[in-house]
Structure 1
Amino acid sequence: MTSYKSTPLFGGALVCDLPEKFADVSKLRQVPDNQEVYIDKDGFTSIIFDITERVGPSGGGLEEDGRAMTTHLEELVGDDVDTVKVWNTTETQFTKLHIDIPAYTLIATQTPKVDTRERLSAPDFTALILTLVRLEKEQTDILITINVPHIKGEYDEDEVDLALGKQGELIGDAVEYAAKIWSTFDIKDWGVFNEI
């Protein structure tokens, strides 16, 4: 069972529980001011918190928020958007945020375009669990991305078939991490959105 610890983000302005086995990447290398990045010390999974400018016009609703989700996903994967398959998208409720704050989560996979010489070091695919929190008044979108590279020999290929609903251990763990974030994520200092 995974052990979690309360983790301050952006100088304590935000807080949530993260797995204890995840390390703060900013202690190893420079991370942009609008990001917090954590990586599994025992694996390849990473969790990224990104405070970005809100995408789309004010107002909202499912259609507008869906377009914003697509825009953020396209920005994340860049030119490789044609290698991405979205498996599902759902509305998400954060336990400690006001019920009126819209949030959505999608699960997608990205299969790299690489030739066979590069294939040895590239993952077979990377699963993405992307959660978008829309803060209209603050003109901010918060993106929480869990990247789960699946590298040959590091996972049981027979256990993963998203078309059949088989997530495998790595994606299953990432879904658990996401659910823990949804239940513990809190905004302690709303002024952070004016600073970043």
Structure 2
Amino acid sequence: MASYRNTPLYGGAITCDLPKHFADVSKLRQVPDNQEVWIDKDGFTSIIFDISERVGGPGSSPEIDGRAMTTHLEDMVGSEIDTVKIWNTAETEFTKMSDLKHPSYTLIATQTPKLPSNGLNSAPDFTAITMTLLRLEEQKTDILITINVPHIKGEYDAEEVDLELGKQGKLIGDAVEIAARIWETFVIKDWDLFHGA
């Protein structure tokens, strides 16, 4: 079980718990202003917070929000969308924001890279993606929280992972635990953050 610390994001406008062994990528390289990127110092997993313009029409329903989620996923993976398989989607509750009634959803997907034409492959076997979409209609904003978990040959036990049978393995299990901790502790402290979005 990872140990966590309450972590300020976007200059403290948002806070949530992140694992202590994750580092702020902006201390190493430039990160766009609308993103916060954290990377596992002991592995390959990354957590990306992305504040973007709200996608889709007004109102909220599983259909409207589902389309928005698909749009964001397509934006994230680009032309590689045919390499993505979505395993499940679920409504999600942000514990400390439940009184505010902002719809949120999470999906778990995998992206399997295409083999290059030269047959040499340094890419991961696949990357598991846990993506949470928090919809802030009044602010015309979507917040995406994506946990990317590359599964690199030799770095995970392939026999533990079979999503068709519901076997997530340790790395995906850890990502789901991190996501659940974020949902429990995520707080927007300064709503002015979204006026510039």
What is the CA-CA distance between 1:22 and the residue it aligns to?
Answer: 0.1
User: What does residue 196 of structure 2 align with?
Assistant: 195
The amino acid across from 1:130 in the alignment is M
Q: Percent identity?
A: 71
The amino acid across from 1:20 in the alignment is K
Are positions 1:51 and 2:51 aligned together? yes
What is the CA-CA distance between 1:101 and the residue it aligns to?
Answer: 0.7
Deviation by residue 1:33-64 (Cα, 9 ceiling, x = unmatched):
00000000000000000000000011121110
User: What does residue 61 of structure 2 align with?
Assistant: 61
Determine helix, strand or coil for the equivalent of 2:80. helix
User: What does residue 167 of structure 1 align with?
Assistant: 168
Deviation by residue 1:50-93 (Cα, 9 ceiling, x = unmatched):
00000001112111000000000000110000000000000000
**8 A contact 2:60–2:103 mirrored in 1:** no
What is the CA-CA distance between 1:117 and the residue it aligns to?
Answer: 3.8
Are positions 1:158 and 2:156 aligned together? no
User: Normalized against structure 2, the TM-score is what?
Assistant: 0.97
Determine helix, strand or coil for the equivalent of 1:195. coil
Work out the CA distance in 1 between the residues paired with 2:102 and 2:190: 16
The amino acid across from 1:58 in the alignment is P
* Structure 2 counterparts to residues 19-38 of structure 1, below 5 A: 19-38=19-38
User: What does residue 125 of structure 1 align with?
Assistant: 126
The amino acid across from 2:160 in the alignment is E
Determine helix, strand or coil for the equivalent of 1:134. strand
What is the CA-CA distance between 1:98 and the residue it aligns to?
Answer: 3.2
Determine helix, strand or coil for the equivalent of 1:78. helix
**8 A contact 2:108–2:129 mirrored in 1:** yes
* Structure 2 counterparts to residues 100-115 of structure 1, below 5 A: 100-115=101-116
Determine helix, strand or coil for the equivalent of 2:96. coil
User: What does residue 187 of structure 2 align with?
Assistant: 186
User: Normalized against structure 1, the TM-score is what?
Assistant: 0.98
Where structure 2 has 5 or more consecutive residues not aligned to the other structure, the ranges are none
**8 A contact 2:35–2:49 mirrored in 1:** yes
What is the CA-CA distance between 1:168 and the residue it aligns to?
Answer: 0.4
Number of residue pairs aligned between Structure 1 and Structure 2: 195
